[in-house]
Each structure stands twice: as C-alpha cells, then as structure tokens.
Amino acid sequence: MHPNHVLAAVTAIAIAAPMALAGDLTPPPGIVAPTMKPLDQVEPRTPVNTLPAGVDSIHLIDQPGSYYLTGNITGAVGMNGIRISADNVSLDLNGFVITGVAGSGHGVIALSVNGLVLGNGSVVGFTMRGIEAASARSAVFDTLIVRDSGDKGIAAGFDSVLRGCIATGNGSDGIFTNTGALVVRCIANSNSGDGFDISVGCSLIDCIADNNAGSGYFIIKDVSVDGCLARNNGSHGLDAGAGTTVRGCHLRRNGDRGIRAGSGCVLIGNHCDENVGPGISAAGQCLVSENSCASNGFFGGDAAGILIEGARNRVHANTVIANDRGIEVTAIDNVITSNVASGNGVNYVILAGNDTAPITSAAVAISPLANTEN
C-alpha cells in the first residue's frame, strides 16, 4: 500500500475512536434523575441533638431506630440527660460526653424497653444513676465510661451484655446487672459501694474491681466468674452467693476475705494473697481445689489461707503458704486431701469428725492423697 494511503487510514481511525467512546450525545427525554445518594441514605441515623425535650429529659427518644450524638450534652436541674421510651433503639454516643449538673437526674434512662444498644461515649456527674436501665431487657452496653454519678454507675437489665465498660468514682455500686447478664472485660474502680453487684444466672469474664469501698464483686447466686481480679477493695474481694463457680481469679489485698463462698460453690485455680481476712472461706457442699493462698491475715489481720465453716466440702490439692493458719476447718463431715502447707503459723487446724488424709512431709508420705507440710 502506498504510504500516503496508510497515513490516511490511521488518521481516520484516530478521529473515529473518541466519537465511538463518547456515546449518544443526545440527552434522553424527560427530567434527568439525580445520580447522588440523598442524605437519609448517606447518614440514615437520627441526630439526638436535634430531638425535642421530654417532660423530664433534655432529649427524648420515643421511636425505634438508630440515633447518634453530634455533640456533647449538658444536663439540667431536675432533668435526665436522655430518656429512651421505645423498643429497638440503637444509640451511638459517637465519642461525646453527657454531663450532669448538681440536682440533675439520670444520665441515660431506659425503663422496661427491649433491644437497646448503647455505646461509645461517656456519662459523667449525674446526681442519680449514670445509666438507669435496670428494668430493660436484652440490652447491649459497649465501650462506655460512666463516672462520678451520685448513685450506681451502670444499672443493666435482664439478659444484658456489657463489654469494655468502665465505672469509676460513683456514689454507690459501679456496675449492677439484673438476671442473666454477660459482663466481659469491664472495670469498676473507686466506687463508694461494691465494684460489681451481680444478680442470678450471670457470667463475668476478665473483669477488674479495684479500690471500691465495698466488695469487689457481690454475687447473688448461680454465677460463673472467670479470670477476674479484685484488689484493694474495702470488704471482700469476691462475695459469692450459693452455687457460684469461681475459676482462675486473683484476689489480693482486700479488706476482708479474698473469696467468701456460700453453699454449693466451686472454687478452682484461684490465687488469694495478702487479704486482711482468710484467702478463701467456704460454707457447706463446696469444692475448693487447686487454689493458692499466701500471706493472708495481712495488715494486722488474723486469718487462715483456707477457712472451712460448713459441712460436706471437699478441700483438695490446694497450696497455702505463710498465712496465720494454713487450712482451718471448724465444722465436721468434710474431706481434706492432697493439700500442701508451708510456712504458716500453724499449717493445719482441723476439727475432729472430718475425713482428713494423713498429714506428713512429702518425703515420707505413702498415700497419694496425703496432706503435706514443711
């Protein structure tokens, strides 16, 4: 092909290509529809700060839906911060603070509602409770800081979940739960009551109770407590009602007992040291096994590492070191086996009428169930 013919063909293709890509340049008939999303699709949640006041609250949420804060909220005398009166409300505090004033009510109040989700912010300085939801059902409280309330910090209702919440400096208990709650990785610090006040059928995992005026944990009954810490509380580290299971917890330097267990409790693998009272005390029908109790009777107290005050307990494979008394049993019909006692004022003080394996040194022990001492 002649070179001039090749050049003409290439030029024609180059001119035609943009025209092909441009598409139809004639607009379609009728009104052109918008191509951007409307605001209610970009942010479908409702800003709480624009909601009107309720009779007793700065803002009222009375419809189901998803809500969020766009700024801080300040309370008023005789008023709650936010009242939630509808089921199925999700409220994101969005990193903001709800702050009370002298004479204000609750920070957030949600009575007898279902399906509340509340999280991601702080509630500070209300005269009554920081969060009052004790009668709510199936609520979730996530990543909240509640401090300096005149009453309880967080009061959570039935079948609730609390995750990553902190209650500090409140005028009563730090965190209260009603029946059936799950509490995970929460902290109760420097509250004027108990750190945690926990009702029936709940579970606590990896929580911390430090420097509360009452007990670190006050448990009604039938609760599972795993991997929790109680330190420097004014009363017991963990006051466990009947049927409670306590595993892998650390109870240190509390003003009374490390663990005070009611009847039918299971206490396994806990470390209780330097408490003013006994490291562990147990009523009847408990399993007390594989715990370590050291230096109890601290700060002028007079206490055993393990004190058994009721009947039909099994006390097995515990280690008691440097307590005023190692294992002290003041009731009958208990079984005491395979424990190790060392350096206590008296290693074993056991009332007659118990089934106690021989007490001897490890070097001469014959029975695998022998209790040893040195």
CATH number at residue 151: 2.160.20.10
pLDDT reading at 307 higher than 80: yes
Q: Is 42 within the bounds of a domain? A: no
Q: pTM here?
A: 0.88
Q: Is residue 222 part of a domain?
A: no
311: Cα separation from own chain's centroid? 33
Closest CA to 217 of 250, 263, 170: 250
> Count of domains in the chain?
2
At which of 213, 247, 281 does a domain end?
213
Question: Are residues 179 and 147 part of one domain?
Answer: yes
Residue 7: the pLDDT is 43
Range of the domain at 318: 232-374
Q: Per-residue pLDDT for 191 more than 50?
A: yes
Degrees, nearest 5: CA angle 3-6-7: 90
Residues 157 and 265 in one domain: no
pLDDT tens track for 322-366: 999 999 999 999 999 999 999 999 999 999 999 999 999 988 888
Residue 18 has pLDDT above 60, yes or no: no
Q: What is the average pLDDT value for the chain, to the nearest integer?
A: 92
pLDDT range class, residue 38, cuts 50, 70, 90: low
30 alpha carbon, distance to own chain's centre? 60
DSSP H or E stretch at residue 317: none
Q: Would 176 be classed as within a structural domain?
A: yes
User: What distance lies between CA 195 and its chain's CA centroid?
Assistant: 10
pLDDT in tens, 210-249: 999 999 999 999 999 999 999 999 999 999 999 999 999 9
Q: Please give the structure tokens belonging to residue 266.
A: 């299971």
Neighbours of 261 (CB within 10 A): 31
- Report if residue 49 sits inside a domain: no
Q: Read out DSSP for 65-103?
A: EEEE-SS-EE--TT-EEEEE-SSSEEEE-TT-EEE--TT
Is the same domain home to 208 and 171?
Answer: yes
- Contact criterion met (CB below 8 Å) for 126 and 106: yes
Please state, in angstroms and rounded to a whole number, the distance separating the CA atoms of residues 41 and 48. Answer: 17
138, containing H or E segment:
none
Query: Using one digit for the tens of pLDDT, what is the confidence trace for 64-115?
Result: 999 999 999 999 999 999 999 999 999 999 999 999 999 999 999 999 999 9
Q: Which of 179, 213, 247 is the last residue of a domain?
A: 213
Same-domain status, 74 and 205: yes
- Residue 313 in contact with residue 288, Cβ under 8 Å? yes
pLDDT of residue 31: 63
